[in-house]
Structure 1
Amino acid sequence: MPYLHPPLKPLPLACLLCLLLLCGSVCQAQVQPQDTVQQQLSPQDTTAQNFNDRVIQNLKQMSERKTIMGKLLKALLDFDRNEEEVYGLDAELIQKEYELHSYKIVRNIDILTLDPFGYSVNDTARVPRNFFEKAGNSLHMKTGRGEVRNKLLFRKMEPLEPLALVESERLLRQTRHILDARIIVNEETTTNDSVDVFVITRDIFSLGGSGSYTPSSGKGRVTLRELNFLGQGHQIEGTYKFNLNRPRPWEVAGFYTIENIGRTYITADVAYVDENYYKEKSFSLHRDFYSLNTKYAGAVGASWVDERILLPAQPDDSVARYGFVGYTRQDAWLGRTLRFKSYNLGYEPRGRIILGARVINTNYNTAPTDNFQDNTLMLASVGYSIRKYYKDRFIFGFGRTEDIPVGTLFSVTGGYQDGDVWDRRYFGSSLSFARYGTSFGYLYSRVGYGSFIRDDRWEQGVLDLEAMYITRLAEWGNWKLRHKLLGRGTFGINRYPEELLSINNESGIRGFRSDLVRGTRRASFNYEANLYTPLSLLGFRLATFVYADLAWLSYGNQSSPFSQKPYSSYGIGFRLRNEFTSFSTIQITLGYYPQLPPNGNMRDFRLYESSAPFYDFRNFQFDRPGVAEFY
């Protein structure tokens, strides 16, 4: 069940909204200086000066006053700083010039790691210029060069494999504590049989956190995280909640991750969660298909879970009914890729055949119904994957370089479940693809189906459909606009009574919350327009958005969700994000809900904060064999 944020008090948040909008006006704007000569030649330019230029000019004049506000603005804001130019965007990462260096010997690898504030991977001459940048860097421990070297897919004095340069750059950029990375071949020293490589990375400020507090009830939450402990890439996160309702006033959760242990690309995860209605202790070691050339992947893990689940509502129920389930689980899987031979030196085919096998052993110590049985599930899958990446900005980030996955993934999974009470087979299949173009945008589509088969009866089946389209970036100076559209459908087939879908938050309608609005078939449509502004305060960039959400629910195998009246939401909000830090995106949303749930816990208008992403890329990296999810 998705986490529901508690409603916030309208008056304080309304004041905060006004304050932040004022701060958006009182901000640094990354605009090009105007040509004064051209203004003299074209007087109409001064009268047709755009809104952004007028705001910046007024704020600059305010900062020159000898008042408290003027001194504060002068200390905090930089009006003359231009937006950093990023090279190589809108280009496929598989660049032709890199193919010229395939199978050459890597003679030298020079690594430069940069602090988060004031530096640039595209301009190494840039240095921190103000007190805040220098102070922030003094509190930060840079990533060790050995940690960067462990991420590289090429080694000194070894032949350079095809795609190794661009895949290494992508892996560095996808590391949580690294903001951006560039890998450059020194063309001046390159020979016919050897190359020198220069690697530049820029960190984020890895120490961060978040929190919330509701004055009326005294409830609150504090989260602290360190994504790069001692510069070694270890990730630590802890959350504490206080002044909660029954049965206990506090909750705690902790997570610890070690990435890429000893150059093996094996990651260790440890989790401890002690909440009122969910408890978990888990440990796992896993190695993913992190690059196109990865041959082996797999994982082993164990978990102990106790949680509360929602039970089907009875006709006369006015409140939700719950049951408790507790289990232990051991999980192991292994995968192997097979790549096609290429007789063209320097060209690497992107297509891969992937084989996988998995065993999951589950033992229940608490079960609310007879549908939960101890069992061992054995799965095997075969798939075909083609994937590549492009680079762009302002899709989900606020100006950082983003890697856009495109390609095709097809898989077929079969298995057998050996249970204490009954045995059954499993069959599943999925197909997905994505395309990207600078003038077209990004399009993703997926269809998947999976079901168990017991005594020739198909049960616990699910048909899953998804399509997402993101328009190309429209720009007006430093103002940028993108539209996002997402359509999803989840159709349960002979599901168990306690398996129910919701439309809460990321499941359908953002800001929606109800335990009684449930079903077995769901369809949803989400639209969002994002306007990225040139306004920022202390590195926090401002983006505004409007959205519209629709969701349909029905119950039963023969029912159609479109036969029911849809729930909907319409709203507006803004986001603040500093890409140089590990702080979550600050998002404030005002939503309107024409149709309210029957439990009466919502109002027509709701002002709330959320940091959970609603849209995201779907990768074409083959994952472990599994059962089609129903949530």
Structure 2
Amino acid sequence: MAFPHLTFFRHVPICLLGMLLLSGMAFAQEVPTRQDTLATPIDSTKQKFDERVMSNLREISHRKTIMGKLLKAILVFDRREEELIGLDAELIQREYERHNYKIVRNVNIMTLDALGYSINDTTRIPQSFLEKAGNSLHIKTRRHLVRNKLLFRSMQPLEPLALVESERLLRQTDYLLDARIIVDERTTTQDSVDVLVITKDIFSLGGSGSYTPSSGAGRIALRELNFLGLGHQVRGSYRFNMNAPRPWEATGGYTVENIGNTYVRADLTYINENFYKEKSAFVRRDFFATNTRYAGAAGASQIDELLLLPPVPEDTVQRFADLGYHRQDFWLGRSFKFKSYNLGFEPRGRLITALRFINTNYYTKPTENFQDNMLVMGSVGYSVRRYYKDRYLYGFGRTEDIPAGTLISAAYGYERGDLFDRRYFGLDVSFARYNKDFGYFYSRAGYGSFIRGSSWEQGMLELESLYFTRLYENGNWKLRHFILGRSTIGINRNPEELLSINNEEGLRGFRSGLLRGNRRVVLNYEANLYTPFSLFGFRLATVAFADVAWLSYGNKSSPFRNTPYRGFGAGIRFRNEYLSFSTIQILVGYYPKIPQNEDFSNFRIYESSRPYYDFADFRFTQPGIAEFR
């Protein structure tokens, strides 16, 4: 059995929770008492389970005992659910459409610290020592950063979608927990408005660490997502006392987000790992909003990696070959909106064209399938983007934006190489729909292939669907189901181009160094039960999952001819929305089928902080070669 590393920063709250549960105690968020029940004594036999538990723990916390003082220090008895403002699952653009083209007189910006404040109740202030101490170590986001994110300005007409798009962009900022943009209806006139912008920070300084006593191996990671309140992001990690081929690894990154008010982002990346090394620098601007006209990027990178070679039956260890190259990458895109003769209505559809240039020079080649080349690509696409609001998807109650819409794109390219020339063709279609009673459904199909002469090579067909149900609620307990299906079919791929079913690519918690193929089908199911329990501000959810994956090797082989690999498991997930390392997940997995020639246990306990599912935004991106991974 494989055991997780001893993570000091992350596992202390979990250990305390375990001790409390073993002592026969649990705790829950307090449910605010209704005003019409204040005069009537509460019948404890009719109280909900979590209300009874919280009432008992509150009574214990008033005692002058060690346990009473401990409970009073770590439990939050007056935590309330945030008021649901604008979360009726209606289309976001309809919230402020009556104010389109009015003049914006004043824009007032209020930034709130990370701990103890509420974005929906600005009168709430920090109460506990921990909240006040945490805020003293945190520098609030500068108001000019918030202003630079806004798509509207004082003394200018308010364009359609400007308010809701600005609010969404603020919510998607790494160092902000949530945002609200409110029109002051008290001062609104027929031709002008005043606007209030409220943002709430997360505690942007974070870190994690792990240590395994048996081997002496460990890891240290630090990150600051809002350095000095300026929006600069710094990340770094270091692993030590590792096994072969080298005992250490290091990574680092620096990001300047939204330079000026241009939405241009600069990234510096350094990765020095055993199997992958990268040095890169990029500046980029995405189609960040529906009405963005121009996007593009420019950058350069140097990459060295160990490329996994195709396995043979007698392999007991992985075999690798060296691959190294320099790359320069440039692209530019332009968005065109369709005319509308309905004043105040902004058409959602956009026609987008883009051109990209990639120059790649290899200094280490494992096979002759790699050649120095210059690739020029052009693409055209049609995008419709809509957003809805909901909660309890990937967060524990904060406002989340759900993308829906349609994206169709076609790409054509020409590669000029030092050995041969070839063309490239790609087509991608995706759509998503959301309904508060039905849930969310997303589907995508994509195909791409090089064409050399009359033969098609390095082709790939991708199919993907994601469905999650509506939120089922019973008191303070909330349940949601997720179902994800994916298939990746390689067509005339090179032998060294391989797929795996490890972790996010197939079975969560699964890891195999030898199991590889070029055709893969994966089905994933997950149930998330959000509980009312909380400890040190960390909300608790339980997770159950079942994964199935088929994998085959060969251009004409079917994955379904082989017995699938499966994974089943359950665990707990802690999340603190106010911290930069917000999610802690401990899972136990069981895998009935084990790959041959590998020392792999049927059971595994592991920790993960990454979400297994994510939304696909219908944002047009740079034209490129479909990734086979």
The residue that corresponds to 1:278 in the other structure is 276
What displacement does 1:587 show? Answer: 0.7
Q: Is the 8 A contact 1:108 1:195 kept in 2?
A: yes
Q: Provide the C-alpha distance between the structure 1 equivalents of 2:603 and 2:212, rounded to a whole number of angstroms.
A: 18
Q: Is the 8 A contact 2:327 2:358 kept in 1?
A: yes
What displacement does 1:26 show? Answer: 4.6
CA RMSD after TM alignment: 2.2
The residue that corresponds to 2:571 in the other structure is 573
Matched letter for residue 17 of structure 2: L
Q: What percent identity do the matched residue pairs reach?
A: 64
The residue that corresponds to 1:613 in the other structure is 611
- Classify 1:206/1:14 alpha carbon distance in 2 versus 1 (closer, same or farther; 3 Å): closer
The residue that corresponds to 1:20 in the other structure is 17
Once the two structures are superposed, the pairs formed by residues 406-445 of structure 1 within 5 Å of their partners are 406-445=404-443
What displacement does 1:248 show? Answer: 2.5
- Classify 1:9/1:149 alpha carbon distance in 2 versus 1 (closer, same or farther; 3 Å): closer
Matched letter for residue 83 of structure 2: E
Q: Which moved more, 1:92-101 or 1:606-615?
A: 92-101
Matched letter for residue 30 of structure 1: E
What displacement does 1:90 show? Answer: 2.9
The residue that corresponds to 2:125 in the other structure is 127
- Secondary structure, counterpart of 2:308 in structure 1: strand
Q: Provide the C-alpha distance between the structure 2 equivalents of 1:408 and 1:442, rounded to a whole number of angstroms.
A: 14
Q: Deviations over 1:63-118 (max 9, x none)?
A: 12221111111122232332221311133353445222212221111100000111
Matched letter for residue 536 of structure 1: S
- Classify 1:484/1:21 alpha carbon distance in 2 versus 1 (closer, same or farther; 3 Å): farther
The residue that corresponds to 1:187 in the other structure is 185
Q: Provide the C-alpha distance between the structure 2 equivalents of 1:96 and 1:325, rounded to a whole number of angstroms.
A: 52
The residue that corresponds to 1:84 in the other structure is 82
The residue that corresponds to 1:348 in the other structure is 346
- Secondary structure, counterpart of 1:599 in structure 2: coil
- Classify 1:11/1:409 alpha carbon distance in 2 versus 1 (closer, same or farther; 3 Å): closer
- Classify 1:625/1:6 alpha carbon distance in 2 versus 1 (closer, same or farther; 3 Å): farther
- Secondary structure, counterpart of 1:314 in structure 2: coil
Q: Is the 8 A contact 1:94 1:166 kept in 2?
A: yes
Q: Which moved more, 1:186-195 or 1:234-243?
A: 186-195
Structure 2 segments unaligned to the other structure (5+ residues): none
Is it true that 1:503 corresponds to 2:516 in the alignment? no
- Secondary structure, counterpart of 1:263 in structure 2: coil
- Classify 1:46/1:295 alpha carbon distance in 2 versus 1 (closer, same or farther; 3 Å): same
What displacement does 1:584 show? Answer: 4.1
Q: Is the 8 A contact 1:440 1:471 kept in 2?
A: yes
- Classify 1:29/1:87 alpha carbon distance in 2 versus 1 (closer, same or farther; 3 Å): same
Is it true that 1:583 corresponds to 2:585 in the alignment? no
- Secondary structure, counterpart of 1:100 in structure 2: helix
Matched letter for residue 138 of structure 1: S
Q: Provide the C-alpha distance between the structure 1 equivalents of 2:332 and 2:102, rounded to a whole number of angstroms.
A: 32
Once the two structures are superposed, the pairs formed by residues 253-332 of structure 1 within 5 Å of their partners are 253-332=251-330
What displacement does 1:213 show? Answer: 1.4
The residue that corresponds to 1:74 in the other structure is 72
Q: Provide the C-alpha distance between the structure 2 equivalents of 1:307 and 1:403, rounded to a whole number of angstroms.
A: 37
The residue that corresponds to 1:164 in the other structure is 162
What displacement does 1:134 show? Answer: 1.1
Q: Provide the C-alpha distance between the structure 2 equivalents of 1:246 and 1:105, rounded to a whole number of angstroms.
A: 65
Runs of 4+ with >6 A deviation: 9-18, 38-41
What displacement does 1:334 show? Answer: 0.4
Q: TM-score, normalised by structure 1?
A: 0.95
Q: Provide the C-alpha distance between the structure 1 equivalents of 2:110 and 2:38, rounded to a whole number of angstroms.
A: 42
Q: Is the 8 A contact 1:552 1:564 kept in 2?
A: yes
Matched letter for residue 349 of structure 1: P
Q: How many residues align?
A: 625
Q: Provide the C-alpha distance between the structure 2 equivalents of 1:611 and 1:259, rounded to a whole number of angstroms.
A: 23
Q: Is the 8 A contact 1:210 1:584 kept in 2?
A: no
Matched letter for residue 578 of structure 1: N
Q: Provide the C-alpha distance between the structure 1 equivalents of 2:121 and 2:36, rounded to a whole number of angstroms.
A: 28
- Secondary structure, counterpart of 1:368 in structure 2: coil
Q: Is the 8 A contact 1:10 1:607 kept in 2?
A: no
What displacement does 1:40 show? Answer: 6.7
Q: Deviations over 1:150-179 (max 9, x none)?
A: 000011111111100000000001000000
What displacement does 1:221 show? Answer: 0.8
Q: Is the 8 A contact 1:209 1:222 kept in 2?
A: yes
Q: Provide the C-alpha distance between the structure 2 equivalents of 1:138 and 1:19, rounded to a whole number of angstroms.
A: 26
Select which of 554, 577, 598 maps to 1:556: 554
Q: Provide the C-alpha distance between the structure 2 equivalents of 1:91 and 1:584, rounded to a whole number of angstroms.
A: 25
- Classify 1:497/1:126 alpha carbon distance in 2 versus 1 (closer, same or farther; 3 Å): same
Q: Which moved more, 1:59-68 or 1:138-147?
A: 59-68
What displacement does 1:504 show? Answer: 0.2
Select which of 593, 596, 607 maps to 2:594: 596
Q: Provide the C-alpha distance between the structure 2 equivalents of 1:36 and 1:391, rounded to a whole number of angstroms.
A: 31
What displacement does 1:32 show? Answer: 3.0
What displacement does 1:280 show? Answer: 0.7
Matched letter for residue 528 of structure 1: E
Q: Provide the C-alpha distance between the structure 2 equivalents of 1:34 and 1:88, rounded to a whole number of angstroms.
A: 22
Q: Deviations over 1:176-207 (max 9, x none)?
A: 00001111111221222221111110000110
What displacement does 1:39 show? Answer: 11
Q: Is the 8 A contact 1:308 1:323 kept in 2?
A: yes
Once the two structures are superposed, the pairs formed by residues 417-496 of structure 1 within 5 Å of their partners are 417-496=415-494
Q: Which moved more, 1:73-82 or 1:237-246?
A: 73-82
Q: Is the 8 A contact 1:514 1:601 kept in 2?
A: no
- Classify 1:14/1:418 alpha carbon distance in 2 versus 1 (closer, same or farther; 3 Å): closer
Q: Is the 8 A contact 1:26 1:73 kept in 2?
A: no
Q: Which moved more, 1:479-488 or 1:69-78?
A: 69-78
The residue that corresponds to 1:32 in the other structure is 32
Select which of 96, 108, 111 maps to 1:110: 108
The residue that corresponds to 1:148 in the other structure is 146
Matched letter for residue 349 of structure 2: G
The residue that corresponds to 1:536 in the other structure is 534
Q: Provide the C-alpha distance between the structure 1 equivalents of 2:303 and 2:78, rounded to a whole number of angstroms.
A: 54
- Classify 1:186/1:199 alpha carbon distance in 2 versus 1 (closer, same or farther; 3 Å): same
Matched letter for residue 410 of structure 1: I
